[in-house]
Each structure stands twice: as structure tokens, then as C-alpha cells.
Amino acid sequence: MATFITMGHAENLEITPVAIVTDSGRLIMKWRGAEVLNISRAFLETNGAPQFIDVAVESPIEINSSIKTADQGPINDEQFDFINMMTETLKDLNVASQRGMVEMFDSTIGAGTVAMPYGGKNALSPMDGMVAKIPMIHGDTTTCSMMSFGYNPVIAKNSPFLGGMMGVLESLSKLVAMGGDYKKARLSFQEYFERLGKEPVKWGRPFAALLGAHQVQAAMGTPAIGGKDSMSGTFGELTVPPTLISFAVATSHVDAVITSELKSTESLVQLFTLPLDKNGIPELTVVKAVYDIIIKANQEGKILSAKTIGYGGLAEAVAKMAFGNGIGVTLNDRIDPAFLFKPLYGSILVESFEIIEGSTPIGKTNDTGEIVYGSDAITIDELVEVWEAPLRSVYPEKAETTGAVETLSFKATPIVYKKEKQATPQVFIPVFPGTNCEYDSAKAFENAGAKSVTTIFRNQSAHDISHSIDEMAAHIRASQMIMIPGGFSAGDQPNGSGKFIASVFRNPKMMDAVMDLLNNRDGLVLGICNGFQALIKLGLVPNGEICAITEEMPTLTFNTIGRHVSTIPMTRISSKLSPWLANTSVGDIHRMPMSHGEGRFVASDEVLKTLIENGQIATQYVDFNGEATLDGRFNPNGSVFAVEGITSVDGRVLGKMGHSERIGKNLYKNIPGNMDQQIFKAGVNYFK
């Protein structure tokens, strides 16, 4: 135990012994020295006294199991309004965009994200699940993990048995639609039911749901290996619907991953329907065959994109696939209009250049940016607005910023290192309570040819603090570069991000080491996200030295939208003043992972004028035309003058919000664009 406590202390962890394992065969608990429990392990292993309950399974509410064919002749229903049906479907809360909520969670941490939650150049096509590479501190891997879920409250309320079946099938269909293999999947169930009491009918609901789920597991060969249940979903007269959520997890190869956004304006859109019998029960043998066809087609490289069908039917899936890249779809006008909006749960829509065996052609993509059905057409932009509007008041997607903005192009040659060359320059990466990007940063530097040294700042005692400062100062003096990584140091307290880090660096020993690195050894300093916030609060940007903070100095404050933002906007190189940007050219545009709550750059007109004249504005947020912008779709935090990163006067200190370290092979497959600014390679080469 002493060794474990010592190891925990090195990680700045508080460790308190709570129990001692013995061979007495008894569980003894004490409170303030007095024994309050003393029972045998043998008793615990009985799991208590056996209990019995009668179970009664209700007949399901009638379910409409008839699925119309997709080719039933021309439309002759004069009352059908396609455009109205599309808009009403997309504004339904079961279908409406949740992007404003999803972006509150960091989707790129760990530099392993294979597919972003929303894909395409517009980042608007929702994925059916999560795909990320298996984490590795060193080296790389082509193995990724996939996770999806399935549950529909309407089906489950009508028939808990079918709800359990369809929950499992929906989760497996989503894996297959993302390029996974259902045969490799393992499941975990989240069960939530009303308070059961002694009523057999109530007990029959979880019983039926589990039977339905088990039937699919047995047929598909996909066992549940974990789960959690609760039978307390009752408050007064209110009860939850019978709930069995199936989470499916599998591993796959990154090259097999399919994303949901349409890729071409000259492709075919096809449907694979999960067949149901006359009672609305999935025909599981045929379902397996459908999955196998899709898996084989993907292995042969025939599938461009795919998405499962949900509450809003084909219409919802087609629209969401179209949103990402703004690619339109001309639907087959022989499809029965009601079929377009039928919730074919678990069925899969695919995009391909050729007809795939077993599929039903639904339509063709087009370059008009419209969804077309017969003589009706509606633009994708109109549909996106309808789709995003319902939850905007709760989870806004963007916020507007007013003010001046200009696309900058400052011509400069980065400063040259004139000291002794370094074959393997060393970078010091301090780790503070709340830092969460040190592994990604160290790996990025090591891949660029540097030696990285990380040290955890320990603050559980005065001795820990003193020792940590001495250790960090020594590492700075032994290094050529300092990189302050991102995270939420000290929970972004007190009263704002980066202050905790700044207070540590203002210690005289740390200040002397940093300024010696910059003034006497021509070293480099980089701060990303939380690190940028610290550099600003130290004065290292834009002043190039640790100094007292005045009201006139620029700062980073809360995003205009009033929430955390995790997205991948575009940034443009505005100045090559910094050695960190030596491998770029002015005008280069990169897609840059962002994840922060306080990234809005603010400065007075006078300070901005100075920064512009000196070429210290390194990067700006830009739109699809490469123009600096205050539009919240492209400038996610509302930074004035669209500033994303700035430098010191000589360029050797760079601070930026975008996570340049979150790079690697096979990442962000559904976001087009160059994401490698080669910052780390440039920093290493500066010393060679």
C-alpha cells in the first residue's frame, strides 16, 4: 500500500485507505472506532433470501406492420404536400438538430477521433455513433472502437417485447452503417422501468423487453456483457415508458469506417430494409443476410456513405445525409409518398455509384442543393434552418459578433536560431491540475523529432509546491522549448481560465528560467487553448515577457455563444512572423479542432492596430471563401477581428486556441481539409 500511495502522490492524487483485505472471511465496518457491521462472506454470497413474483405479459397494442413497397406507381394523392411533410418531420423534436448540445462536449480530446459527431464541409450530417482509434501513448494504430445505441419509446410502449428486439437491432444496424461488423459486437443494456411493486403486469414489461432483446442476441450471436437497471421510474402518476436501451460496441479497421454525409453529386441512393413478418417481428435470419450484404459491399469499396432510418423515415435520413456537403437528392417519384416518412427502424440507406444486390433504389444525388420529389423541390439551406430552429432557444448553434474585420496578409521571414544547433531539441510540457492535453502534445512533439519532458505540478502541500517549482524551473533550463498544453487548469478558477498556470509561472524561479530561455538561449514558447490563456495572462503574448497585466492588454474571455464549443472551424495563416509557422505560407487554410469555453479574443482598437502593424496576428477564423469573418458558423467564439492566434513581437512565443496537436493519421474522416500546420516540425527544425 505504501508503494501505491507513493505512486499516487507523484500523480498529485489524494489517496485515503478505506479498507484492509483480510482472510478472515468476514466483512467488518466501523464508524468512529465502533463496530457497526460484522457479517460473513458466506452470507453475502447467498445474495439474500430468494424471492418470487408472478409475471403477466400483456398483449401488445396493435402495431402497423405493413411495409409498402417502394415502387407502387405514380403519385395520385392530390392532398399530399411533400414540402410541408418534410419541414414538419424535420422540426419534430425526435428529429430536430441537437448540434448545439453536442458541441458542448469535447469530441477531439485524445487526438483519436475518426469521425466527428457531425460531418461534411458544413459539419451538419450527424453520425450514427462514435468512432475513435484505440488510445496509444506511443506509436499509432489502425484499430478503432465503435459505439452506438438503439431505443424507441413509441415501440417500447406499445410492445416491450418488440421494443427490446428493435433496440438491439437498431444499435447493430448503426454499427453496420458505420462500417462495423455486427458479429464482433458486444452489448450493454440500460434498463429503466416504472416502480414494479407486486403487480404481475408491471413485472411483465421488463420480462418481455428482456425476452425480446435475448431473442435477437441469440439469433445474431451478439451477447450482452454488462448493463444497469433501475425499477424506480415512477413519480406520482407519472411513469417512464418501458426502457431497454441497447449500447453496441465493436472494433474495426479505420479504413472500413463509413461516414454519413453524401460524397458525390453523381451517385445512387439505395435502401436496405429490415424485413418484418405479419406481426411486425423482424425476420432475424434475413436481417443477418442484409447486414452481410452491406458488410461485403463495404469491403469491396462500393459504399460512399450510409445512415440508418429512424423516427422520420427515409425523408429524415436523406436530408441529414445531404446537409453535410450540401449535396441534393432527386427522389424516385414512383415511391409512395407515405413510404418516405415511414419509420423503418434499423433499415439502412447507402450511397454508391452502382446498384448493390438486395437494395431498393430510392433516388440519385444532384448538384442543385435541393431535395426533389416529383414537381416539388426544397433547398437544403431551407431544410437546415427548419431542422435547427426547434432547440435553438435552449442549445444555440452560433452567436453573432459585430465589428470590423479584415483578412490579413503580413509578409515576414521568421527569426533564425543562432545558438548551438540541437540534434534532438527538448520541449518541457508542464502538467497542472485539470490539464488534459499533455499526452497529445508530447506525442506530437516526439513524432516531429523532439524529446518531450512532462512534469506534474503537485499542490497538496507547501513542500509539494516548492519541490514542483524547483523541478519545473530545472527542466526549463534544460530545454529549448516550453509548451503549455490545453485543459481546464484548476477548473478554470479563480475567476477565469489560465490564472492558476500564470500564478505558478510568476514565481521568481520560474520567471527567471523562462526569460533566460527567451532572452539568452533563443528558445521558443507555445501555448494552446488553456496554454494560450496562460500566455496572455502572463504577458508573454503579445509582449514577449512576463510582466504586470494592465487594462489595455488583450485578453481571452467567455465565448459569445455563452457555452463550451467543440468543433473544427477553418483558420488562415495571416503572418509567418513566428518560427512555429515556418512550414506554412500566408493564406494557407487549415481545419483546426477547437474545444473551449473561454476562447474569445478581445482587444482595443489601439492594441489591434499595433498587432496588425507588427504582424503579430498569426491566424484568423475564415469562411469558405477564405475571408476573415465574425459569422458564428465560422468564428465559434466570437473573437474580435477573427483572431485565433497571436505571437510575441519577435514571433518566438505563439499562443493559439486551435488544438494543432490533435493530429494524426485516419482522423476526422468526415471533415474535409488540411489539419496539419506542421507547427511541431517547424519548432524542432528551428534548432537544427
The domain ranges of the chain are 71-87+259-395, 127-257, 426-686
What pLDDT, on a 0 to 100 scale, did the predictor assign at position 1? 82
Q: How far is Cα 140 from Cα 45, in angstroms, rounded to an integer?
A: 44
Task: Pick from 397-401, 495-499, 627-631 the range whose average pLDDT is largest.
Answer: 627-631
Q: How far is Cα 664 from Cα 134, in angstroms, rounded to an integer?
A: 13
Assigned CATH class of 71-87+259-395: alpha beta
Cα-trace Rg, the chain: 29
pLDDT tens across 276-311, in order?
A: 988 889 999 999 999 999 999 999 999 999 999 999
Averaged pLDDT, 482-491: 91
Using CA atoms, how far residue 132 sits from 34, 129, 200, 404, 625, in Å, is 50, 10, 43, 39, 31
CB of 266 within 8 A of CB of 308?
no
What pLDDT, on a 0 to 100 scale, did the predictor assign at position 73? 41
Task: Please report the DSSP string for 354-405 in residue order.
Answer: SPPTT-EEEEEEESSSEEEETTEEEEHHHHHHHHHSTTTTTS-S-----S--
pLDDT tens across 54-76, in order?
A: 999 998 875 444 333 344 344 44
Q: Please state, for a pLDDT cut of 90, what percent of the chain lies above it.
A: 90
* Residues near 58 by beta carbon (within 8 Å), at least 6 away in sequence: 201, 204, 205, 208
- Residue 610 amino acid letter: T
Determine whether 496 is exposed, middle or buried from the number of CB atoms within 10 Å of its CB (0-12, 13-18, 19+): middle
Nearest CA-CA partner of 124 in 561, 559, 563, 568: 568
Task: Pick from 208-217, 337-346, 494-503 the range whose average pLDDT is largest.
Answer: 208-217
Fold of 426-686: Rossmann fold (3.40.50)
Q: Tally the residues of the chain.
A: 688
Q: How far is Cα 285 from Cα 436, in angstroms, rounded to an integer?
A: 46
Residue 284: half-sphere exposure toward Cβ, Cα within 13 Å: 18
Identify the three-state secondary structure at position 562: coil
Average pLDDT along the chain: 94
pTM: 0.94
Averaged pLDDT, 418-437: 96
What pLDDT, on a 0 to 100 scale, did the predictor assign at position 51? 86
Question: Does the pLDDT of residue 478 top 80, yes or no?
Answer: yes
What pLDDT, on a 0 to 100 scale, did the predictor assign at position 77? 58
Averaged pLDDT, 485-513: 88
CB of 186 within 8 A of CB of 225?
yes
Fold of 127-257: 60s Ribosomal Protein L30; Chain: A; (3.30.1330)
What pLDDT, on a 0 to 100 scale, did the predictor assign at position 67? 35
Nearest CA-CA partner of 517 in 546, 494, 538, 496: 546
Identify the three-state secondary structure at position 193: coil
pLDDT tens across 139-165, in order?
A: 999 999 999 999 999 999 999 999 999
What pLDDT, on a 0 to 100 scale, did the predictor assign at position 495? 67
Instruction: List, in sequence order, every residue forming a beta bridge with 413; answer none if it has no partner.
Output: none
What pLDDT, on a 0 to 100 scale, did the predictor assign at position 72? 39
Lowest mean pLDDT among 4-8, 129-133, 596-600, 663-667: 4-8
Question: Does the pLDDT of residue 487 top 70, yes or no?
Answer: yes
| Fold match flag (71-87+259-395 vs 127-257) | no
The band of 494, judged by pLDDT with boundaries at 50, 70 and 90, is: low
Q: Please state, for a pLDDT cut of 70, what percent of the chain lies above it.
A: 97
Q: How far is Cα 383 from Cα 262, in angstroms, rounded to an integer?
A: 16
Q: How far is Cα 34 from Cα 248, in angstroms, rounded to an integer?
A: 46
